[in-house]
Amino acid sequence: MKTYYVWPLGCQTNKSDGERVATVLERLGYHRVHDESNANVIAVIACAIRQSAVDRIYGKFRQWEQRQQAGDLTTILTGCVLPHDKQKLTPKFDLVFDIEDLPRLPLLLAQTTVEETVNLRDKMEYFDIEPLHNSAFRAWVPIAKGCDKFCTYCAVPYTRGRERSRPSTDIITEVKKYIERGYKDIHLLGQNVNSYGLDKPGQELRFAELLTAVAQLEGDFWIRFHAPHPRDFTADVIAAIANYPKLCKQINLPAQSGNNQLLRRMNRPYTREKYLALIDAIKAGIPNVSLSTDIIVGFCGETDEQFQDSKTLMEYVKYDMAFIAQYSVRPGTVAARRFTDDVPVAEKKQREQTLTAVLKRTFQENQLPRLGQTHRVLVEKYSKDHWLGRNEHQVTIEFQAPADAPLVGTFQNIKLNSVEPFRFVGIIQ
């Protein structure tokens, strides 16, 4: 039996791409295994956002080398890879391909391993390949690819190319299909979801219209999206989220920094004041909204004073979640060429810890008034000795029920009894 293992690093887009790679490998007759040491094909969906993700791939080579030489293993690489890393990684892999070429993977593999090819059209759009979902209740739906924003620290514009919106008819058809199959948690994906349609003015729906279209579909499900950019976050998006119960009242709005000089150096086209005005508008327009953010600490030249602006921004907004990252130089980006990565690692670490402490505090403050409420929870799994699910705000909720109860992928009402850092403990009603 021929076997494969898909290893997606990084974000949801890579997980989604990995599910499409799995489909193609299954069509080629490979069977999925959950332990990479049993796989004949390992497909790496790489992430270029931080050096640590790239290093994890380098860390595997020793393990794979012997098996590759013995002819037991074919390794393939796709996803986000910077030109700088592509040069170094290519000789170590049997096959490196651009994810857009996924429909051609059978042919590419045939050239390297003399496997049979399957009947996939060469020119097919890779989004048309149906993903093999890892979950029975959560589905990723890409709505756009690429990014044109060129934040100076970021690898994505160099690995994923220009922004292109997927036809809304395809998106709506795909969402509908998943809802009919019982999927409950639909995530619309793109590097800048709220620029959706702007690359095809007059010919495509705008993001708020797309949200409205999927929120009006029949069925019992939730819709979320990742990730918006503060620049194109328009009032009609806020109104849509407020008006349609199926659109989760949960928004990740990356701030990246709370300091105007840093924002300019990052090429983020807004000020702290504009960002906070948008936050105020979201809070006013969407009662009970849950906010999260992405923040980078220790970007080139960030002084302690400038860092304090990120801290006070977080204290003002009171996020429920924050993805706090220490700045990591990405070769080939504007920041790598023009600025110096001059904040010491120990200082970056300290700043990350400081912001994590703020987040813990604001999470707790936000959740305490919710104790005693009953929340609708989408149940995910039984783990060790309890069940885990998430509410509309994507906060984890732990509760007790028999381990063999058929709860995975169902909505349950859970009364919230206590709160710990980043999770509630509750009782099923």
Count the helix, strand and coil residues of the chain and give each as a percent rounded to the nearest 5.
40, 20, 40
Choose between 212 and 259: whose C-beta lies nearer to ligand 5AD. 259
CB of 231 to ligand SF4, least distance (A): 9
Question: What distances in angstroms separate CA 364 from CA 130, 334, 358, 361, 418, one per listed residue?
Answer: 40, 38, 10, 5, 11
Q: Footprint of ligand SF4 on this chain (CB under 6 A)?
A: 147, 149-151, 154, 156-157, 191-192, 229
Choose between 74 and 257: whose C-beta lies nearer to ligand SF4. 257
Whether a cis peptide bond, with omega within 30° of 0, leads into 208 is no
Choose between 95 and 154: whose C-beta lies nearer to ligand SF4. 154
Residue 192's binding partner out of ligand SF4, ligand 5AD, none, with CB under 5 to 8 Å set by partner kind:
ligand SF4
Choose between 193 and 325: whose C-beta lies nearer to ligand 5AD. 325
CB of 156 to ligand 5AD, least distance (A): 7
Put the strands of the sheet holding 185-189 in their side by side order. Answer: 138-142, 185-189, 222-226
Q: Footprint of ligand 5AD on this chain (CB under 6 A)?
A: 49-50, 153-154, 254, 256, 294, 296, 325, 327-328, 330
Question: Tokens 């003002």 belong to which residue?
Answer: 316
Residue 327's binding partner out of ligand 5AD, ligand SF4, none, with CB under 5 to 8 Å set by partner kind:
ligand 5AD
CB of 40 to ligand SF4, least distance (A): 34
Choose between 58 and 150: whose C-beta lies nearer to ligand SF4. 150
CB of 365 to ligand 5AD, least distance (A): 24
Residue 241's binding partner out of ligand 5AD, ligand SF4, none, with CB under 5 to 8 Å set by partner kind:
none
Residue 330's binding partner out of ligand 5AD, ligand SF4, none, with CB under 5 to 8 Å set by partner kind:
ligand 5AD
Question: What distances in angstroms separate CA 269 from CA 94, 150, 286, 312, one per listed residue?
Answer: 41, 10, 24, 20
Within a 10 A sphere around the Cβ of 423, how many other Cβ atoms? Answer: 16
Q: What secondary structure letter does DSSP report for 28?
A: T
- Nearest CA to 423 out of 321, 278, 280 is that of 321
Residue 296's binding partner out of ligand SF4, ligand 5AD, none, with CB under 5 to 8 Å set by partner kind:
ligand 5AD
CB 325 within 8 A of CB 349: no
Q: 43 by DSSP, 3-state: which?
A: strand
Q: Residue 426's beta-bridge partner residues? A: 399, 416
Choose between 2 and 226: whose C-beta lies nearer to ligand SF4. 226
